[in-house]
Amino acid sequence: MFLLRRLLQAIPVLLVTAFLSFAAFRFIGDPVQSMLGQDATAADRAELMAALGLDQPFPVQFWNFIVNVLHGDFGFSTRIGQPVLGLILDRLPATLELAVLSFVVALALGMILGVTTALKPQSWISRTVMAGSLIGVSLPNFLIGIGLIYVFSVQLGWLPAFGRGETVQIGWWSTGLLTVSGWKAILLPAISLSLFQVTLILRLVRAEMTEVLHSDHIRFARARGLPDRMVNFRYALKNTLVPVITVSGLQLGSIIAFAVVTETVFQWPGIGLLFINSVNFSDVPIMATYLLLTAVLFVVINLIVDLLYYLFDPRLRVKAAGR
Amino acid sequence: MSTPSKPSLWARFRASDLGHAFLRSPGAMIAFGLLVLIMLAALFAPLIAPQDLRDATSFDLMDGFTPPFSANEFTGNFYLLGTDDQGRDMLSAVLFGLRASLIVGICAVALSALIGVTLGLIAGYAGGRVDAVIMRAADVQLAIPGILVALLIFGLTRSLLPTGLRDAMAIYVVILAIGLSDWVSYARTVRSAAMVEMRREYIQAAIMMGRPPRAILRRHLLPNVARPIFVIATINFALAVIAESTLSYLGAGLPPTQPSLGTLIRIGQQFLFSGEWWLLFFPGCVLLVLALSINLLGDWLRDTLNPRAVK
């Protein structure tokens, strides 16, 4: 029931974005002109318009657009002249590997640092971490990326500054995670992309942990003489997980968004770089498709987070059943 | 008998809560001082800068790649912060870039405040279906990160322009893109404040007297919900400056002919491996100081004025 209601709420959002990207396709950057070139006759034009279904009434065109999209047909890129779907699928593995790795880094680092600063708020480690996280939040992400390149690529020469390294093809998926050069190449972008998330998760874990550590059940557990380790991790940390999951899950979407910036800094051949190039060269079909895919992605992520919430917090289930 | 003199602005500031908190916070004072310095430098850029970047005849290709703090080995011209590949003085480039970044930031904040406050007032005043539509739109936009929205607006708007005009219009398109991507926080705050005010008697009285809706919105509602708008605007100014530099860095912002800090960093990164570090270093440092000081000041202002006013 819960899930069904969520799904129904998502449909209007998707329809609106579909309409926006359809409008972009149709009215910005004349598709007929870009396919025919400059010197086409009016007859050629009419013929192509009929072939593409552009002479039909507006609602019919919109319907055809949705049918095409559901069949995976997003039209042709005006700059590269290939189907948009193929271009995106080619670059999807690079972005997904980068996003997932930096998400894992962010979650691990954020939790560790968050727990550390919550348990020992006065130690110099905690103070350094907190000051660093303040600076990390306020700096533009690309500046940090460039700084990493300067230190590790230009000065030390340890890691490559751009590209993906060697990739291995598994079916249609090209992975960089099976070669040494691939791992070397992904390290800097993943760290740079994760930094914003690290500071966010760190602050959240710290705030939640501090609150939980002062609650009665923790004091009782200490009074029973349970070992510190068990109290801190089994009792305290577990209670902070629900908000952490929600927020970091929602952040997965913004990782994909910020990947646009990181991919530009490190010239990482993913969909973010494809999107930026399409913005710079006014390649409307790719922009419109990206808009649509991002909307779907965000709706799906929100759904999954809601579902996880539901699974991790039994109180919600009881409430739903009681209604 | 002497009449009690009216307290000066400074005395009133010192006596206020805000002034009191300000004088006790060294962080806020340093940030404010740096920001004032940066603002002045940007304001007087045409007077301070040794070169006028808008005039292509004022720089010489022969002066290209002069290192900072030294004279060019061929022409003997001295440049404090060095020159770029085209012989442009970096000091002038940074000053004008700073100016461009701040202009875009201020205009974008003004635009988003205008849109957000108007929509928030209308939503709070009208309620019902109008309110639902505006707030749903706000929810959808809030779900997608601002930088993506700004990129999409920039890309699509630019595609509408004829090719020759794209560089000249870039600054307006950037302002539009950032302004449109940032209105939600104003709309939400103003709406909830307006909904509270709507139940008050003076608004009810104004409605009873048959004041037209426009007058009620502008004369009665707006002045009473204005306070939190300024806090949001300060914080959003930091976000707008960072958004602008990011867009320009990505190449979806100001063109190299009228660079902002982001554009300069984008250009400078191309020379990172060939050793011309100053092309990247100086604009990077200025952006760093700018971003840090606005953020520190914004955080401090939010904590001091009202911790719960924003979002």
Domain-located, residue B19? no
Say what the pLDDT of residue A323 is: 43
Say what percent of chain B tops pLDDT 70.
81
Q: Do A140 and B144 touch (CB under 8 A)?
A: no
Strands (DSSP E) found in chain B: 70-71, 78-79
Domain-located, residue B252? yes
**Overall domain count for chain B:** 1
**Overall domain count for chain A:** 2
Residue B19 has pLDDT above 80, yes or no: no
Say what the pLDDT of residue B110 is: 93
Report the distance separating Cα A33 and Cα A189, nearest Å.
39
Report the distance separating Cα B260 and Cα B104, nearest Å.
9
Domain-located, residue B55? no
Render pLDDT for B206-262 as a digit per residue (tens, 0 to 9).
888 888 888 888 888 888 888 778 878 888 888 888 889 888 888 888 888 788 888
Domain-located, residue A220? yes
Q: Do B145 and A254 touch (CB under 8 A)?
A: yes
Q: B165: which DSSP letter? A: G
Q: Could you tell me the CATH number of the domain that includes residue B284?
A: 1.10.3720.10
User: Which residues of chain A make contact with B269, given a CB cutoff of 8 A?
Assistant: 146, 265
Report the distance separating Cα B28 and Cα B182, nearest Å.
25
Render pLDDT for B115-139 as a digit per residue (tens, 0 to 9).
999 999 888 888 788 888 888 788 7
Mark whether A214 and A313 lie in a shared domain.
yes
Q: Which amino acid is at B75?
A: T
Residue A322 has pLDDT above 60, yes or no: no
Residue B232 CA, distance from chain mean position: 12
Domain-located, residue B90? yes
Single out the residue in A43, A70, A97 at which a domain terminates: A70
**ipTM, interface predicted TM-score of the complex:** 0.76
Residue B202 Cα distances to A175, B7, B199, B212, angstroms: 66, 33, 9, 14
Q: B4: which DSSP letter? A: P
Structure token pair of residue A145:
């990326």
Element holding A178 (H helix, E strand): none
Domain that holds residue A20: 2-70
Q: Could you tell me the CATH number of the domain that includes residue A118?
A: 1.10.3720.10
Mark whether A91 and A63 lie in a shared domain.
no
- Give the CA count within 13 Å in the CB-facing half-sphere of B105: 29
User: Which residues of chain A make contact with B252, given a CB cutoff of 8 A?
Assistant: 276, 279-280
Structure token pair of residue A233:
């991790």
User: Which residues of chain A make contact with B159, given a CB cutoff of 8 A?
Assistant: 28-29, 282, 284, 287
Mark whether A53 and A122 lie in a shared domain.
no
Q: Which of A135, A284, A294 comes nearest B292 by C-beta?
A: A135
Say what the pLDDT of residue B108 is: 93
User: Which residues of chain A make contact with B273, given a CB cutoff of 8 A?
Assistant: 154, 161
Average pLDDT over residues A228-245: 75
Mark whether A213 and A299 lie in a shared domain.
yes
Q: What is residue A175's three-state secondary structure?
A: strand
Q: What is the pTM of this model?
A: 0.80
User: Distance from B137 to chain A by nearest Cα, in Å?
Assistant: 9
Buried b (16+ CB within 10 A) or exposed e, B216-232: bbeebbbeebeebbebb
Say what the pLDDT of residue B212 is: 85
Say what percent of chain B tops pLDDT 90.
5
Residue of B nearest to A276 (CA): B250
Q: Which residue has the tokens 């801190």?
A: A232
Residue B128 burial (C-beta neighbours within 10 Å; 0-12, 13-18, 19+)? exposed
Residue A35 has pLDDT above 70, yes or no: no
Question: B78-79 and A173-175 as β-strands: parallel, antiparallel, unpaired?
Answer: unpaired
Kindly report the backbone phi and psi dihedral angles of residue B272, in degrees, each rounded to the nearest multiple of 5, phi listed first: -65, -40
Report the distance separating Cα B146 and Cα B159, nearest Å.
20
Render pLDDT for B248-288 as a digit per residue (tens, 0 to 9).
888 888 888 788 888 888 888 888 777 777 778 888 888 88
